[in-house]
Structure 1
Amino acid sequence: MLPRVDSTNAEALRQAATLGAPTWIMTRDQTAGRARRGRGWVMPAGNFAASLAARPPGTPADLSLYSFVAALALHEALAAACGPTARLAIKWPNDVLLNGGKVAGILLESTGQGGRGGIALAVGIGVNLAAAPDAAALEPRAVAPVSVLGETGHKVSPEEFLDLLAPAFARWQQQLETLGFAPIRSAWLARAARLGQTITARIGATTRSGRFEGIDDSGALILVTAAGREAIPAAEIFFEEDA
Structure 2
Amino acid sequence: MSAKPWPEGTGCRILQEVDSTNAEAQRLAPTLSGPEWILAHRQTTGRGRRGRPWANPVGNFTATLVMQPGETPDKVALRSFVASLALFDAFVAATGRVALFALKWPNDVLLNGGKVAGILLESAGAGGTLSHFCIGIGVNLVAAPSRSDVDESAITPVDLQSETGARVTPEEFLDLLAPAFADWEAQFSTYGFAPIRQAWLNRAAKIGEVITARTGKESVVGTFETIDDTGALVLKTASGRRVISAAEVFF
Taking structure 2 as the reference length, the TM-score comes to 0.92
Matched, 1:124 2:163: no
Q: 1:188 aligns to what?
A: 200
- Partner SS state of residue 119, structure 1: strand
Structure 2 Cα separation of the partners of residues 107 and 82 of structure 1? 24
Q: 1:60 aligns to what?
A: 73
- Deviation sequence 1:159-198 (CA, Å, 0-9, x none): 0000000000001011111100000000000000001100
Q: 1:78 aligns to what?
A: 91
Q: CA deviation at 1:34?
A: 1.3
Matches within 5 A, 1:199-238: 199-238=211-250
Structure 2 Cα separation of the partners of residues 200 and 42 of structure 1? 26
RMSD: 1.2
Structure 1 Cα separation of the partners of residues 90 and 80 of structure 2? 15
Structure 2 Cα separation of the partners of residues 38 and 32 of structure 1? 10
Q: CA deviation at 1:135?
A: 1.6
User: Which is worse superposed, 205-214 or 192-201?
Assistant: 205-214
Structure 1 Cα separation of the partners of residues 141 and 41 of structure 2? 12
- Partner SS state of residue 25, structure 1: strand
- Deviation sequence 1:133-173 (CA, Å, 0-9, x none): 12201112200000010001111000000000000000101
Is the 2:120–2:135 Cα contact (8 Å) retained in structure 1? yes
Matches within 5 A, 1:156-175: 156-175=168-187
**4+ residue runs over 2 A deviation:** none
Q: CA deviation at 1:222?
A: 0.3
Specify every segment of 5 or more residues in structure 2 that has no aligned partner in the other structure, as ranges.
1-13
Structure 2 Cα separation of the partners of residues 85 and 38 of structure 1? 32
Specify every segment of 5 or more residues in structure 1 that has no aligned partner in the other structure, as ranges.
none
Q: CA deviation at 1:119?
A: 2.4
Structure 1 Cα separation of the partners of residues 99 and 42 of structure 2? 27
Q: 2:155 aligns to what?
A: 143
Structure 1 counterpart of 2:146, one-letter code: D
Structure 2 Cα separation of the partners of residues 112 and 210 of structure 1? 36
Is the 2:19–2:44 Cα contact (8 Å) retained in structure 1? yes
- Partner SS state of residue 183, structure 2: helix
Structure 2 counterpart of 1:90, one-letter code: L
Is the 1:58–1:114 Cα contact (8 Å) retained in structure 2? no
- Partner SS state of residue 171, structure 1: helix
Q: CA deviation at 1:48?
A: 0.2
Q: CA deviation at 1:113?
A: 2.3
Matched, 1:3 2:12: no
Structure 1 counterpart of 2:29, one-letter code: A
Taking structure 1 as the reference length, the TM-score comes to 0.95
- Partner SS state of residue 122, structure 1: strand
Is the 1:221–1:231 Cα contact (8 Å) retained in structure 2? yes
Structure 1 Cα separation of the partners of residues 189 and 215 of structure 2? 31
Structure 1 Cα separation of the partners of residues 183 and 140 of structure 2? 23
Q: Percent identity at matched positions?
A: 59
- Deviation sequence 1:85-107 (CA, Å, 0-9, x none): 65100000110000110000000
Is the 2:123–2:130 Cα contact (8 Å) retained in structure 1? no
Q: Residues 25 and 207 of structure 1: is their aligned pair in 2 closer, same or farther, counting only changes over 3 Å?
A: same
Q: 2:49 aligns to what?
A: 36
Matched, 1:103 2:122: no
1:21 to 17, 34, 42: 34
Q: CA deviation at 1:118?
A: 4.2
